[in-house]
Each structure stands twice: as structure tokens, then as C-alpha cells.
């Protein structure tokens, strides 16, 4: 479970209880259309201009300025997971026309498992006025009706009637240097991408990968789509700085089942630099690199030569791994026993052994590149976007760690596959010993290898081959040196009790990796892209049950070792355990009916309790309450057990019937939750704006008994 998301939701609930913010809707506009600022709930609105006059045939920048109370925000043109942008309806004198309202660079506004796009503190929305050439000089008045949605933990619609007095004067011109909030906003309007900059977009199964070339190394890049349901708004946007730009990985929205032909949005490079871009989307995959700016342990700045060097050193260190070292040691003893042979023949054996390793690595990298060319994300890390893969990987590492810790002896099954070939005499034996060393080394990742492999898999094919070749040469180097100098075998430590201790210590980082994978697994189900927080806890519990089954399978293998019967029993137990997290139950959430007075009256006449959810798509608290509380298994069960009629009053668009119903219970906005007991004569029970499971369950228990 993602602890940060849980903390965010908890703080959301606590802050709402502390501040007791009313979720009222500002139905009647404030202001009389005169000039000057107008104070509304949680913000001040005003129309401003860059100059007091406009010339006939000229233009003038005016704008809407919203100054917000601390921690409150308004929205960008695409509000994100919830919300609605401000809107202006003009009443203008003849000869004056207004262009569209422009939106400055937005910021990301997280709340619980959701993400909005918008503005805090203050923001100005520029609008360009154009005067007709035949416009007569004199005073004019601009009249505007403005709508907005201002949010914190709750959302409040607002309206204002604003005005601005100007003068039509021949020869009038705007200020040489725009100043004030409007002038600042004009500098923050995203511009078209300059010709010297380039942008390409690859669309994969789960990501968009933007590669932007600016001529400079970019460290902080974000993408904001103009269209909704393009990206997973709450997901991290992963930046990989490049020497002349950056590569940005953005998770696709779950609703986006088909790649769009093009994508339109804003690429933000800094707080003051952003570009309005439209780019075709080319189907394809790019393996995630370990050097992204938001990736812990990042290796941004790694070069091809550095990666080759790290891979070579990592290959050398691989020889010290418990599974690889015995192979090297036994081949070293074989060199000692054959020291009477000609030096040239011993060197040939070393070269053939090296060839066996290199051929094995080349086969591995060819398979990875083939998968990548076929549209699969081939590489270490991309699989972590798949809950199924994470469950299988975590289970496998947990089972292997149990063996290393000493619960049972898993045995080098892979070693036994190649053991017979490795024991062959002559060059065939040396070649397949190299193959065997590669096979038993593949589960291991030595220090320095991770950065090199992550870099290699995101590069062209020749770079990938070069890095993996260096890794293979590093693995082969110790034996190759011994074959040239057999006397050096004296420095090899002899196998003994220290190797068993080392094996058991190796289990500790494996168990740590399993804990991290379990956290990732739960996070995938608790994120905004795949589900709610409670769903993440449920799936994490299923994975823990799988671990328990694997521990039981390991006990069977340790209690009755080297028996077919115990092996078969252990396999069956492991399969049953693995099926627990892999089983995906169907969505059993109950169906909500659209609210109407008729539906409410019919349900009450039939003797059913009624739960009404007054909600709106732009209401962030409504979405959090729905995902965390109303869709929870406990609440859904009580709805079903008590045969509660569920009505959803959607106030996304103003609805006078819903407004009237809210007024009847002394409420004027959303979120609002009402329970009507089964008895037609019982009064309505209005719940708090911010829900918890206990609040809903307690109210249901009380009201369904009436």
C-alpha cells in the first residue's frame, strides 16, 4: 500500500473536520458589473487591462485576475481528475470583440489518490480585445459574467458580475513593458514550439514517451494534455535528462484503450517556460532507463563508455556470487590437474570458455532486442508496471530466499541441466562450462550492473550488444587469466563453511527486495489509475497469503528432501498459493440510479431506505469519498444487506431539481450525503461532507432500523 497516498487521504479527512468548510454553491453572482475587485467565497475577482485606452483598429490585453486564499485553487483548461476551468461571458459595446481566454502554465495539484491541474495563490487569464477601425472615440464599458470553481478539500462554485471602464482614443497604445499580474501571465502563456526544437512521441502499451530536443539538458519536464482521459493524471511523470533535451515517460490513462493519432498539450520545462505542442503518436516502446530524474538511485549522465566499464566490473564481481564461484573454483582445480599440458592448449580452453559465455550473452541480448522490436518493453524494470509479473517475481524471490536461508535445499537445478555438458572432456566441456556460468549467473545482479544494464536497454542495438559483451567478458576474465597463468589458482580460497554463511546472508537482501516488490504491488492497486486504497490493501493481503503457502511448500521440501512425492506436494502448494494473488475478482460494486424526485418517492413508498449521493465530476472530495468509502467492501455489503436504494444526484451541470432538493435539507453544494430511512414519515439524515466508513456504517445501522 502506498503510505504517502494513505497519509494524504488521512490529512484530507482531518483538515476537513478541523476547518468545517461549507460546500456551498454560489448560485447568485456577486458584484454589480462595475469596475473594481469583487470579494467572493475564498477568492477575489477583478477585470484589469494593460492600458486605460484602446485605439480604433487596435488591440488591447485585458484579463480576469483571481486572487485566492491560502491552499485554495482554481483550474486549468483541463482540470485533471476533477474540476472545471473559469469561464467568461462578455457583453461588449458595438465594435469591440474579445478573443478566447488564455491559460498560463499550470501546476500539478495532488489530493489523496487524485491529481488536478490548476493554480494557487493568484492567477490572471489574459483576453485580447480588438476594436473596429470605425469605432468612435469616447468612454466604453465592458461587462462580463464570470463562473469558476474554487476548491480545497471541498469545491465551491462561484459567479461574479464584473465590469471594466476603458476609453477609445486614436493613437492609444499598450504599455511598452507589460506589468502586474496580467503582464506576468502574458509571459507565462505556452508558446508554439520553435523550429529549432523537436518533439517526438512514442505510444506504448502503458506509456507515452516524449523525446524533446531543446539544445540544453532538461531536468524538470512535465506534460499537461488539453484532452481528458489521455494520461493517468496522478501517476509520476518520469524524466530522463539527455545531453540536448530530455525523455519524459507519462503513463497512459486506463480509459485510453486505443492510441490517438496525435496528442495535444503543454510541455513544461520550468516555472516560466512551456510550449503548446501537437505531435503525431507513433506506436512503439522504449525500455525505462535507470537514469531518470525521479527515479531513486538514478544514473543520469551515464555514457556508453561508462556503461561498458561498469558492466565489465560487474561481470568480474559476478564470479564471487555463491552460485557462480563454485563453477570458477572447479575449473581452477581442473587447470591445476592439467598443468602438465601445453600452455597453448590451456589458453585455448580459456578462450573457448570465454566464447561459451559470450555466445550465451549474445543470445540473451538478441532475444531482448527481438522482443523490443516486436513492441514489447524488453528490459529490467518495465515488468514492474504489471501486477501479475510483480506477484510472480516476488513469489519466486521469496521462495528462493527461503532456500538460501536454509529452510530447504533447492539445489542448482539449472546447474544440473548443464552439468553433464560441462563435464565433457575437451573444448566442448570448456564451451558448455561457459554456458553454465552464464545460466547460473542470470538470477544475480552484482554491484555496478544495474546502472549499466538499465542504460544499455534504452540505447540502440549496437550499444546494447557492446554493454552485454563487456558484461560477459567481465564474467569470463578470472578463468581466462587463470588459463594463461595456472599457478595463480593457489590464491583461490577453498570452499568451506564460509560459503554457507555467505549463502544465508545473501537471503537478507532478497527478503528486502520481496518487501519492496510487495509495496509496489499494493501501490499499483491503490493508485488512481487502477483502483482505490482499500483495493490495494486487499491485493497485498492476497500476496501475503501466497508467501505463507510458499513457506509451507519450502517446509515440505526441507522435511522430506530429495523425494518425488515431497516435490510434487510442494509444487501443488506453491501453485495454489500463487493463484491467490493472481485471481482477479470481478467488480461487485452496486449500481446507482440517477436521482429524481419520482425515484425517491417510489423507493420510500416501497419501504426501502434510500441513500442519495449529491456529487459532481468537478468535486474532488466527492471522488475521494466515493473511492475510499462508498466503494469499500464493508459499505457495499451493508447497502446490499439492508436493500438500500442508491440514488446519485449528479450536479456536474447545474440542475434546478437537485438544487431544490439540497435546499430542502439546508445544503447548497456538494458533497452532500443523505439517508432516508425506510419509514416514509421519518426525517432525512444528513451526513458530513467528508466521509469515513464508520460514519456511513453507523448511520446505516441507525436509519435502516426505523
pLDDT tens digits for 642-699?
889 999 998 877 788 888 888 888 887 788 999 998 877 778 889 988 889 999 999 8
How do 222-225 and 238-242 pair as beta strands? Answer: unpaired
Please say if the pLDDT value at position 359 is more than 50.
yes
d(CA 473, CA 488): 19
d(CA 551, CA 439): 26
Q: What is the dihedral of CA 415, 420, 423, 429, to 10 degrees?
A: -90
pLDDT confidence of residue 439: 56
pLDDT confidence of residue 224: 97
Residue range 11-70, pLDDT digits in tens: 444 433 333 333 333 356 887 878 889 999 899 999 999 999 999 999 999 999 999 999
Inter-CA distances, 691 with 228, 374, 627, 698, 699, Å: 27, 48, 11, 11, 11
For the segment 298-322, the average pLDDT, to the nearest whole number, is: 69
pLDDT confidence of residue 642: 87
The sign of the dihedral angle between the CA atoms of 609, 615, 621, 624 is positive
Please say if the pLDDT value at position 424 is more than 60.
no
d(CA 629, CA 11): 15
d(CA 265, CA 479): 56
Under 8 Å between Cβ of 455 and 307: yes
What percent of the chain stands above pLDDT 90? 29
Please say if the pLDDT value at position 315 is more than 90.
no
Under 8 Å between Cβ of 310 and 291: no
Classify 411 in phi/psi space as left (phi over 0), alpha (psi -120 to 50) or beta. Answer: left
What is the grid cell recorded at 93?
A: 459595446
What is the grid cell recorded at 121?
A: 495563490
CATH fold for domain 3-188: Immunoglobulin-like (2.60.40)
d(CA 587, CA 242): 43
> Which of the two residues, 558 and 315, has the higher pLDDT score?
558
Element (H, E) at 300: none
d(CA 422, CA 400): 24
Residue range 151-202, pLDDT digits in tens: 887 788 899 999 999 999 988 776 656 778 898 999 999 999 999 999 999 9
Please report how the helices 461-484 and 343-373 are oriented relative to each other, as an axis angle in degrees rounded to 10.
160
pLDDT confidence of residue 456: 61
pLDDT confidence of residue 92: 94
For the segment 114-141, the average pLDDT, to the nearest whole number, is: 93
Q: Rounded to a whole number, what is the largest CA-CA distance in the chain?
A: 111
pLDDT confidence of residue 380: 38
Tell me where in the chain the CATH 3.40.30.10 domain(s) lie.
593-703
Element (H, E) at 548: helix 533-559
Q: Which of 227-236, 642-651, 697-706 has the lowest mean pLDDT?
A: 697-706
d(CA 481, CA 478): 5
Determine the CATH number of domain 192-283: 2.60.40
What is the grid cell recorded at 352?
A: 573457448
Q: How confident is the model at residue 551 (pLDDT cuts 50, 70, 90)?
A: very high
Please say if the pLDDT value at position 461 is more than 60.
yes
For the segment 452-474, the average pLDDT, to the nearest whole number, is: 74
Q: Which of 256, 105, 148, 79 is nearest to 620 (CA)?
A: 79
Q: How confident is the model at residue 420 (pLDDT cuts 50, 70, 90)?
A: very low
Residue range 598-641, pLDDT digits in tens: 888 888 888 889 999 998 877 778 888 888 899 888 899 899 88
Rounded to 5 degrees, φ, ψ at 475 are -65, -35
For the segment 367-387, the average pLDDT, to the nearest whole number, is: 54
pLDDT confidence of residue 128: 94
Q: What is the mean pLDDT of the chain?
A: 78
pLDDT confidence of residue 46: 95
pLDDT confidence of residue 232: 92
For residue 269, the 8-state DSSP code is -
Terminal-to-terminal C-alpha distance of the chain: 38
Residue range 196-225, pLDDT digits in tens: 999 999 988 889 999 999 999 898 899 999
Please say if the pLDDT value at position 526 is more than 50.
yes
Tell me where in the chain the CATH 2.60.40.1250 domain(s) lie.
3-188
Please say if the pLDDT value at position 446 is more than 60.
no
pLDDT confidence of residue 376: 45
DSSP sequence for 42-83: TEEEEEEESSSEE-TT-EEEEEEEEEE-TT-EEEEEEEESS-
Residues in contact with 524: Cβ distance below 8 Å, sequence separation at least 6, in sequence order: 385, 387, 390, 530, 536
CATH architecture of 593-703: 3-Layer(aba) Sandwich (3.40)
Please say if the pLDDT value at position 445 is more than 70.
no
Amino acid at each position: 500500500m502506498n503510505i504517502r497516498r494513505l497519509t494524504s487521504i488521512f490529512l484530507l479527512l482531518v483538515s476537513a473536520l478541523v476547518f468545517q468548510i461549507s460546500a456551498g454553491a454560489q448560485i447568485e453572482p456577486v458584484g454589480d458589473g462595475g469596475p473594481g475587485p469583487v470579494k467572493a467565497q475564498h477568492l477575489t475577482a477583478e477585470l484589469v487591462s494593460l492600458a486605460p485606452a484602446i485605439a480604433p483598429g487596435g488591440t488591447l490585453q485585458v484579463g480576469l485576475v483571481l486572487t485566492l486564499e491560502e491552499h485554495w485553487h482554481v483550474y486549468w483548461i483541463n482540470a485533471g481528475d476533477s474540476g472545471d476551468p473559469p469561464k467568461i461571458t462578455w457583453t461588449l459595446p458595438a465594435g469591440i470583440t474579445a478573443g478566447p481566454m488564455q491559460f498560463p502554465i499550470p501546476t500539478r495539484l495532488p489530493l489523496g489518490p487524485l491529481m488536478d491541474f490548476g493554480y494557487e495563490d493568484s492567477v490572471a487569464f489574459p483576453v485580447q480585445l480588438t476594436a473596429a477601425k470605425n469605432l468612435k472615440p469616447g468612454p466604453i464599458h465592458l461587462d462580463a459574467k464570470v463562473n469558476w470553481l474554487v476548491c480545497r478539500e471541498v469545491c465551491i462554485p462561484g459567479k461574479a458580475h464584473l465590469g471594466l471602464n476603458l476609453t477609445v482614443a486614436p493613437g492609444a497604445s499598450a504599455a511598452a513593458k507589460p506589468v502586474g499580474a496580467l503582464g506576468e501571465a502574458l509571459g507565462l502563456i505556452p508558446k508554439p514550439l520553435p523550429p529549432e526544437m523537436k518533439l517526438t512521441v512514442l505510444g506504448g502499451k502503458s506509456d507515452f514517451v516524449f523525446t524533446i530536443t531543446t539544445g540544453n539538458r532538461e531536468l524538470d519536464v512535465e506534460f499537461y494534455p488539453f484532452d481528458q482521459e489521455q494520461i493517468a493524471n496522478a501517476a509520476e511523470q518520469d524524466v530522463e535528462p539527455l545531453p540536448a533535451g530530455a525523455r519524459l515517460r507519462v503513463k497512459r490513462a486506463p480509459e485510453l484503450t486505443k492510441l490517438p493519432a496525435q496528442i495535444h498539450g503543454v510541455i513544461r520545462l520550468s516555472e516560466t517556460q512551456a510550449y503548446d505542442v501537437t505531435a503525431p503518436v507513433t506506436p512503439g516502446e522504449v525500455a525505462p532507463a535507470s537514469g531518470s530524474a525521479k527515479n531513486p538511485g538514478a544514473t543520469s549522465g551515464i555514457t556508453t563508455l561508462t556503461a561498458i566499464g561498469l558492466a565489465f566490473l560487474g561481470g568480474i564481481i559476478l564470479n564471487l556470487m555463491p552460485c557462480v564461484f563454485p563453477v570458477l573454483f572447479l575449473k581452477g582445480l581442473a587447470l591445476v590437474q592439467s598443468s602438465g599440458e601445453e600452455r597453448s592448449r590451456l589458453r585455448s580452453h580459456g578462450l573457448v570458455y570465454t566464447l561459451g559465455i559470450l555466445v550465451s550473452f549474445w543470445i540473451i541480448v538478441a532475444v531482448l532486442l527481438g522482443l523490443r522490436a516486436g513492441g514489447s518493453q524488453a528490459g529490467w524494470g518495465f515488468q514492474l508496471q504489471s501486477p501479475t509479473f510483480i506477484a510472480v517475481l516476488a513469489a519466486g524471490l521469496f521462495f528462493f530466499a527461503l532456500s538460501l536461508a536454509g529452510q530447504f535445499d533447492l539445489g542448482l537445478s539449472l546447474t544440473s541441466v548443464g552439468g553433464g555438458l560441462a563435464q565433457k572432456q575437451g573444448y566442448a566441456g570448456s564451451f558448455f562450462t561457459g554456458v553454465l556460468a552464464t545460466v547460473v549467473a542470470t538470477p544475480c545482479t552484482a554491484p555496478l550492473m544495474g546502472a549499466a544494464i538499465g542504460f544499455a536497454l534504452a540505447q540502440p542495438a549496437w550499444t546494447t550488444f557492446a554493454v552485454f559483451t563487456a558484461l560477459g567478458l567481465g564474467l569470463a576474465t578470472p578463468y581466462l587469466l587463470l588459463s594463461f597463468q595456472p599457478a595463480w589458482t593457489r590464491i583461490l580460497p577453498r570452499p568451506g563453511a564460509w560459503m554457507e554463511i555467505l549463502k544465508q546472508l545473501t537471503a537478507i537482501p532478497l527478503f528486502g527486495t520481496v518487501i519492496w516488490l510487495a509495496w509496489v504491488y499494493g501501490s499499483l492497486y491503490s493508485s488512481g489509475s487502477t483502483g482505490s486504497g482499500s483495493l490495494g490493501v486487499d491485493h497485498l493481503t492476497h500476496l501475503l497469503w501466497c508467501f505463507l503457502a510458499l513457506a509451507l511448500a519450502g517446509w515440505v521440501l526441507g522435511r522430506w528432501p530429495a523425494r518425488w512425492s515431497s516435490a510434487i506436494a510442494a509444487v501443488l502448494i506453491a501453485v495454489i498459493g500463487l493463484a491467490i494473488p493472481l485471481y482477479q475478482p470481478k467488480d461487485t460494486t452496486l449500481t446507482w440510479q440517477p436521482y429524481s424526485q419520482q425515484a425517491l418517492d417510489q423507493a420510500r413508498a416501497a419501504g426501502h431506505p434510500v441513500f442519495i449521493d449529491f456529487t459532481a465530476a468537478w468535486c474532488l472530495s466527492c471522488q475521494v469519498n466515493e473511492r475510499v468509502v462508498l466503494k469499500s467492501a464493508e459499505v457495499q455489503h451493508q447497502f446490499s444487506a439492508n436493500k438500500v436504494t442508491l440514488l446519485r444526484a449528479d450536479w456536474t451541470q447545474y440542475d434546478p431539481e437537485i438544487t431544490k432538493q439540497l435546499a430542502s435539507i439546508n445544503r447548497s453544494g456538494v458533497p452532500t450525503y443523505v439517508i432516508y430511512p425506510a419509514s416514509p414519515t421519518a426525517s432525512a439524515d444528513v451526513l458530513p461532507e467528508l466521509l469515513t466508513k464508520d460514519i456511513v456504517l453507523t448511520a446505516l445501522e441507525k436509519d435502516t432500523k426505523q
